[in-house]
Amino acid sequence: MTAATPMLEMVKIGKTFPGVRALDNVTLDLFPGEVHALVGENGAGKSTLMKVLSGVYSHPNYDGEISINGEPRRFRNVHEAEKAGIAIVYQELSLVPEMTVGENIFLGREPRRFGVIDWETLYERASVLMRDLQLDIDPRTKVIELGVGKQQLVEIAKALSHEARILVLDEPTAALTEAEAETLFRILASLRTRGIGMVYISHRLAEVFKLSQRVTVLRDGRTIATHATSDLDEQRVIAMMVGREVSQLFPSIARTSGEVIFEAKNISSEDPNVPGKYLVRDVSFSVRKGEVLGIAGLMGAGRTELLATLFGCYPGRTTSQVFVEGRKVEINNPADAIANGIAFVTEDRKRSGLVLEQTILRNITLAALPKVSGRVVTNEEREVAAGERIFRNLQVRANSLFTIAGTLSGGNQQKVVLGKWLMINPRVLFLDEPTRGIDVGAKQEIYAEIDKLAQAGLAVVMVSSELPEVLGLSDRILVLHEGQITGEFTRANATPEAVMACATGQAVHA
């Protein structure tokens, strides 16, 4: 970090979306061989900033200037940014599952001989790359056969194969096991010695403090501060990220739980792609009326699979025993679950929560249509009246019930999904990453709503990767690690470190 000129300077970057100023006057610079951590809550603008850098948001669709090695650059598309040496490894993997590792790495730039792809050279170069990074992966393996963690490492190798000088990593360890994360850290260390600059986006402050030389904190689209990592501690970073006492983000909880309303026993779920491998292994738990049960864990711990199994929509083989209000029930499909008063807000609202091209009204009434509109013939007036009630209750910000769902912001879309499930009058509500991709303001509203629902007696099971959220909202917390429960905490005895330790498999807490 001794170079005088930064290899990258982003100066006064601004980006506006309809109704939202996602970035405002943001500055970030990067020196060769530096790991510069970029932290902030979901919605703070980190991904937007990186999309500006990588050319996804091209010039002139943003304000401010980007300079590489002192030279101002204006990327008109991703390709130009790539050629300038910028590579991003996204959280969502962009590999083609049915193609091999080698094919993926060189996708679009395959070495050719006489106009035809030169497979030998391709696989040789891929092998060299794997060896270089000390990855034990055969480049002829199909990506779909690799675990998520290895896929992530392949993604990184792919970015590096572009001869990137600036590498951006967005939550790189979210899907990695301990061992794979160590591999990653080793790779990053060696990249540092080669003078490659890295922007490291992560929620895991432990990693941030371990790996980075400087930290930039974003909040609500603005740069709050940039400091040398050694000058900071976790408390200060969190305070800057949130901008207020963490506890104020969450409603102060004065709830009492009632009797057990939902019980799951011996839940096991088999990986549909890999027979014999279990993603959920003999998990049992119960939830009480008016209780918020948080389920923490890393990506791949089996939390979503657990909820999917209990809701009857898991694609693989499962064994389970489910009890609602003390009675054993059979849940073989979502209709069974709904009939028993179970609701499920999935983690990807666009893919599995909403019919984006339809109106809010049609989305909100979708799960309860027979009850709210008519069993055979629909009654639009009854439907509108019911939709109206929920629309107002949840304070959905849209012009009317007839606004198309796809035009809403993330937070409002999530409210519509929540509204759909509230319309079935559930006894148990499953939430999977309820505030993913939602701005801070809407988050607060959703937290308040969850609290309100719990106070009214609803049992809530909330899966979340955001520790503050889990710690701030839950009455009890379960921690899953590789399909098993490794920790159970109450509000009183839960700490971020203890929960994290169980999530990473380092500890077990009864």
- Give the binding site for other proteins (CB under 8 A): 311, 313, 333-335, 337-339, 344, 346, 351-358, 362, 366-367, 369-370, 373-382, 384-385, 388-389, 391-393, 399-402, 420
Q: Locate tokens 């976790």: which residue?
A: 234
CA 466 – CA 279 distance, rounded (Å): 21
Alpha carbons 249 and 233: distance in angstroms, whole number: 21
Two tokens at 118? 């030169």
Min separation Cβ 72 and other proteins, Å: 33
Q: Which of 166, 238, 165 is nearest to 466 (CA)?
A: 238
**From the CB of 410, what's the least distance to other proteins, in Å?**
16
Q: Which of 83/452 has CB closer to other proteins?
A: 452
Distance CA 30, CA 214 (A): 9
Q: State in angstroms the smallest separation of the CB of 354 from other proteins.
A: 6
Q: How far is the CB of 408 from other proteins (least distance, A)?
A: 14
CB 182, min distance to other proteins, A: 36
Tokens representing 111 are 């070495």
Distance CA 208, CA 226 (A): 13
Nearest distance, CB of residue 393 and other proteins, angstroms: 6
First CA to last CA distance, the chain: 45
Q: What tokens were used for 71?
A: 């030279």
44 and 221 Cβ atoms separated by less than 8 Å: yes
Complex with other proteins: residue 384 or 498, whichever CB lies closer: 384
Residue placing its CB nearer to other proteins in the complex, 1 or 355: 355
Q: What's the CA gap between 59 and 73, in Å, rounded?
A: 9
Question: Residue 4 or residue 376: which is nearer to other proteins going by CB?
Answer: 376
Residue nearer to other proteins on the CB measure, 144 or 335: 335
**Contact partners, residue 201, CB within 8 Å, separation at least 6:** 37, 38, 39, 46, 47, 50, 168, 169, 170, 171
- C-beta of 284 vs 395, nearer to other proteins: 395
| CB burial string 312-327: b at 16+ within 10 A, e below | bbbebebebebbbeee
Q: Please, which residue, 175 or 405, has the CB nearer to other proteins? A: 405
**Which of 10/337 has CB closer to other proteins?**
337
Nearer to other proteins, 248 or 393 (CB): 393
CA–CA separation, 377 vs 369, rounded Å?
10
Q: How far is the CB of 337 from other proteins (least distance, A)?
A: 8
- Shortest distance in whole angstroms from residue 456 CB to other proteins: 11
Nearer to other proteins by Cβ, of 79 and 350: the residue is 350
Say how far apart CA 483 and CA 283 lie, in whole Å. Answer: 8
CB of 399 to other proteins, least distance (A): 6
Residue-wise DSSP of 76-121: SSHHHHHHTTEEEE-SS----TTSBHHHHHTTT---EETTEE-HHH
Q: Closest approach of Cβ 418 to other proteins, in Å?
A: 13
